[in-house]
Amino acid sequence: MCSSKTDHPGELAFNFATLHDLEQLVEHPTHIPDRLGDTPNILDLFLISNPSAYGVTLSSPLGSTDHNVISVSCPISPISSQDPPKWRCLWHFVHASWAT
């Protein structure tokens, strides 16, 4: 995330990631140069706090874009079910027939 050409917004992003202990998940260039003299670089960020739990795959660009497609897989487990609702008996004394 840090290079010799980092602009002010890039510095802010770097500081934010550092402050919140985030790591860049993508480690390979995502931008395909379309002009002579340009070099491949990582322009697309995927910041995460636990990179070992995720997998990333880069695929060829779709259509006419000059960015690789980033696919991220993450482990998702179902939310544990809560206890089933319990039936209870409520007496409505206000509506009771006290005359009988």
Query: In angstroms, rounded to a whole number, what is the distance separating the alpha carbons of residues 56 and 71?
Result: 6
Structure tokens at 30: 């995502």
Structure tokens at 85: 């609702």
The residue written with tokens 């008996």 in the block is 89
pLDDT along the chain (100 residues), means of 10: 71 93 92 85 89 90 89 84 82 80
pLDDT, residue 71, reads: 93
Q: What is the pTM of this model?
A: 0.59
